[in-house]
Amino acid sequence: MPPVNAFWSLTMYDSHGFFSENAIGRYAIGDRDRLRYNADGSLDTYVQHSRPGTEKESNWLPAPAEPFSMTLRLYWPKPQAFDDTWTAPPPIRAVE
């Protein structure tokens, strides 16, 4: 998890820098959402255009079909965010 004293969020933007419109009106996802964590405490987020299925929807950040950008924000970050002991995990492309 991102090392924060407050909270973190991942926000989706379209290619023009605006919130990316989507069917569920979700423009960001973060630790204040009702996320479903894995048994080991890790978290999978699904950044994709199509719905990932009912079980994964709580962790879905809808992406547009066209190019987009994301911003990960750390509010009141802990020292690990700056001293190279933590790095944000890279996106992993799942093959369907």
DSSP letters, 47-82, are: EESS---GGGGGGEEE--SS-EEEEEEEEEE-GGGT
Say how many CA atoms lie within 13 Å of 13 toward its Cβ. 9
Domains of the chain from N-terminus onward: 4-81 (2.60.120.600)
The residue with tokens 């255009």 is 49
Per-residue pLDDT of the chain (96 residues; tens, 9 = 90+): 999 999 999 999 999 999 999 989 999 999 999 999 999 999 999 999 999 999 999 999 999 999 999 999 999 999 999 998 999 998 888 765
Q: Taking the model in full, what pTM does it have?
A: 0.90
